[in-house]
A and B are shown apart, each in its own frame.
Chain A
Amino acid sequence: MRFRTAAGALALAATLIGTAVAQSYPAATDVPHTTDVARLRAQAIEREIHERFKRGLDAEARADWTAAVPEFERIIALDPAEPKGSTARYDLAIARARSGDYPAAQRLLDEALARDPGFTAAAANLVSVGVLAGDIAAARRAADRFVALAPASARARYERGIVALRGGDLATAQADFRALAAGDPAYAVAYYDLALIEIRAAHFDAAELELDRALAIDPGYARARFALATVFVRAGRRSEARAAFDRAARDASDVTLRSLALDLRDRL
């Protein structure tokens, strides 16, 4: 009898606990449905933006730029709040640039930056698009803007350094590659570009030092080895030049560089 009473009490307790659990609700949330016309419209737009972002990004992942363009253009037409508006312009700029429409890509990235001046990826791509367009002056303006926005960024320093070097501004290029090397001393490419700056300025001893640094980090850096060989040629150090051209040819995976290094080695 006692046993039956105890079992009954336990069963009752279990039922009460189960009921209590079943009746505990999470905190109040937004009502999922509405009949308000304005709100329904806003929700429909949000859904469309979401879906078009997904479709546009899927198309870009397939490198199907033609399919990506209308998706992002529609998002821009729907005029979403930030950061979606500038993000859609950024994504559309990629599709435009990949399709070869650089002026449109530049305009879109400018618009993205106007909407969000802190959008560093847009600032970075604006430099790249200027370069792709062959517009070194525009690339330089974009690079100055990128460095001003993110002075500690390795990409900002690298991009402006390369643009400045190609544009003949050796002082800016040198400052940027020095900053890049200071921030990332293991990046051999920075020393290679610094060496090119020294060669253009006819500072061959300094160039040799920079190339030695690059090759100490990466002994198989064929372009740096090739550049060092030309410094040796300039200094009349023929046997060192021959050995350096030979090593550059062996390390080079680029066929043009390899054949040129072999040709120059054989002429010495």
Chain B
Amino acid sequence: MTGLRIRWTVLLTLLSVLAAAGGVALSAEASLDELGRSQLRPSAFAELLGPITESGRVGWDCAPEHAAVARTARAAGLPTDRR
């Protein structure tokens, strides 16, 4: 009877340890996941467009106006800082 009780105690202890270890592992995984995701930020804001000369907007022929309506990221001067 005493031997059976000891076996049950050992078994329950082992189960508790395993459960705790599993919980710690899951918790570590979750915190890792949260930590990683918390660092995910949208890409940078676009910079201000530059100044325009006195005659720059006659015929809309100036770099800032071209950048403002450009259809590609490069022509629009959008952020490329990806690293």
Binding site for B on A (CB under 8 A): 49-50, 53-54, 57, 60-61, 83-84, 86-87, 90-91, 94, 97-98, 119-121, 123-125, 127-129, 131-132, 150, 152-156, 158-159, 162, 165-166, 180, 183-184, 186-190, 192-193, 196, 199, 218, 220-224, 226-227, 229-230, 233-234, 236, 251-254, 257, 260, 264, 267-268
Contacts of B76 in A (CB 8 A): 153-155, 158
Q: In the bound complex, how far is the Cα of B45 from the Cα of A111, in angstroms?
A: 23
Q: Is the CB of A124 within 8 A of B40?
A: no
Contacts of A91 in B (CB 8 A): 51-52
Contacts of B45 in A (CB 8 A): 128, 131, 159, 162
* Secondary structure class of chain A's binding surface, majority of residues: helix
Q: In the bound complex, how far is the Cα of B68 from the Cα of A87, in angstroms?
A: 15
| CB-CB under 8 A for A121 and B71, given A129-B48, A189-B80, A193-B43 | no
Known: A124-B49, A230-B36. 14 other contacts (CB 8 A): A84-B54, A97-B48, A124-B46, A150-B68, A154-B71, A155-B67, A162-B46, A187-B73, A189-B73, A189-B80, A199-B40, A223-B82, A223-B83, A226-B36
Whose C-beta in chain A lies nearest to the C-beta of B64? A121
Q: In the bound complex, how far is the Cα of B37 from the Cα of A152, in angstroms?
A: 32
Q: Is the CB of A189 within 8 A of B82?
A: yes
Quote the shortest CB–CB distance from B16 to chain A (angstroms).
24
Contacts of B51 in A (CB 8 A): 57, 60-61, 90-91, 94
Whose C-beta in chain B lies nearest to the C-beta of A163? B45
Interface size in chain B (residues, C-beta < 8 A) = 43
Whose C-beta in chain A lies nearest to the C-beta of B38? A230
Q: Is the CB of B46 within 8 A of A233?
A: no
Whose C-beta in chain B lies nearest to the C-beta of A233? B33
Whose C-beta in chain B lies nearest to the C-beta of A95? B51
Q: Is the CB of A188 within 8 A of B57?
A: no
Q: Is the CB of A184 within 8 A of B73?
A: yes
Contacts of B49 in A (CB 8 A): 121, 124-125, 128
